[in-house]
Amino acid sequence: MTHPCLTCGACCASFRVDFSVHETQDMGGDVPDGLAVEVTGSTCRMRGTDHSPPRCAALTGKVGSQAACGIYEWRPPSCPAGVFYKAGL
Ligand code: SF4
Ligand code: SF4
């Protein structure tokens, strides 16, 4: 059975996603620098997640039917969908 997160994507178009600057590629992490917006000296945010309405710049497709994370392997650990993936739900 396909995991619902694989097509849903609603949380990637609902929440602000912040993470440590150390998660960016520039600092030795995985998150592509072009998708990270610096918030403070120690915090970054996924581009687009503080827009109104929010939508992560890495989210592809149509929310609710055919959505996907364009940087699944490189997304920050704080991603809302990532928690569910990791929990194996
Ligand atoms: S965790 Fe996010 S992407 Fe997954 S089913 Fe829930 S709202 Fe959709
Ligand atoms: S990086 Fe991927 S999983 Fe994280 S908020 Fe953006 S689209 Fe969702």
For residue 69, the surrounding DSSP H or E stretch is strand 66-69
SS3 29: coil
Per-residue pLDDT tens over the stretch 3-19? 777 778 899 999 999 99
The overall pTM is greater than 0.85:
yes
Q: Which residues are paired to 67 by β-bridges?
A: 61
Residue 2 confidence class, pLDDT cut points 50, 70, 90: low
Measured in degrees and rounded to the nearest 5, phi and psi for residue 73 equal: -70, -20
Phi and psi dihedrals of 52, rounded to 5? -125, 105
d(CA 73, CA 32): 11
Nearest CA to ligand 2 atom 1: 75
Q: Cα(13)–Cα(49) distance, rounded to whole angstroms?
A: 7
Distance 49 CA to ligand 2 centre (A): 9
State the pLDDT at residue 84. Answer: 47
- Look at ligand 2, atom 5, and give the residue with the nearest C-alpha: 12
